[in-house]
A = this chain, B = another copy of it.
Amino acid sequence: MARSTNTQFAVAVHVLTMLAGVTDGRAMSSEELSKSANVNAVYVRRVLGHMRNAGLVRSRPGVNGGWELVADAAQIKLREVWQVLQGDEPVLGLHGPDPTCVTGRSVQKSLASIDRTVADAVATALGYFTVQDVLEGVPDAAQLLNAE
């Protein structure tokens, strides 16, 4: 029920992986990237803009322009991608209880604290994966369980 409908993270990982897969030194255009991710090119530019602000990619306009990875794909943790997009926004959906209700305020505070704990857990989990891992293919959760 509480699915996130925001695909920025998925799209970011997708296009970063595409860029990591470039063998010749050429740049990829937002148009090209958007085709594979099946989203709009403007959207790709917006998402990659955040990645550029974080120093993960560079872009240049014009003929043969486009986007390139700056860092080594094996050094880019998905944790960083997540944090660039997520910032300090809550992970759990928080509500706005009646400010005059004592219990309501207390619950609100607790939920905010719990949200930080969960956000840390998400960040830690995403720290296990790099763009290089995605490029090589992260094994199935089921496979991982069997391997234990």
Q: Which residues of A contact B (CB under 8 A)?
A: 1-11, 13-14, 17-18, 21, 35-39, 50, 78, 85-87, 89-98, 101, 103-104, 106-107, 109-111, 113-114, 116-118, 120-122, 124-126, 128-129, 133-134, 137-141, 144
Contacts and interface: CB of A to CB of B under 8 A. Distances in A.
Contact of A114 (B78, B85, B104): B78
Given A36-B98, A120-B125, 10 more contacts: A2-B4, A2-B6, A2-B86, A9-B93, A14-B107, A14-B111, A37-B104, A113-B138, A114-B129, A114-B138
A9 B132 CA distance: 34
B6 A101 contact: no
Interface SS of A by simple majority: helix
B4 A8 contact: no
A130 B36 CA distance: 43
A134 B121 contact: no
Contact of A121 (B13, B18, B90, B124): B124
A104 B38 contact: yes
A39 B5 CA distance: 22
A32 to B, nearest CB: 11
Nearest to A106: B137
A119 to B, nearest CB: 9
A118 B107 contact: no
Contacts of A118: 122, 125-126
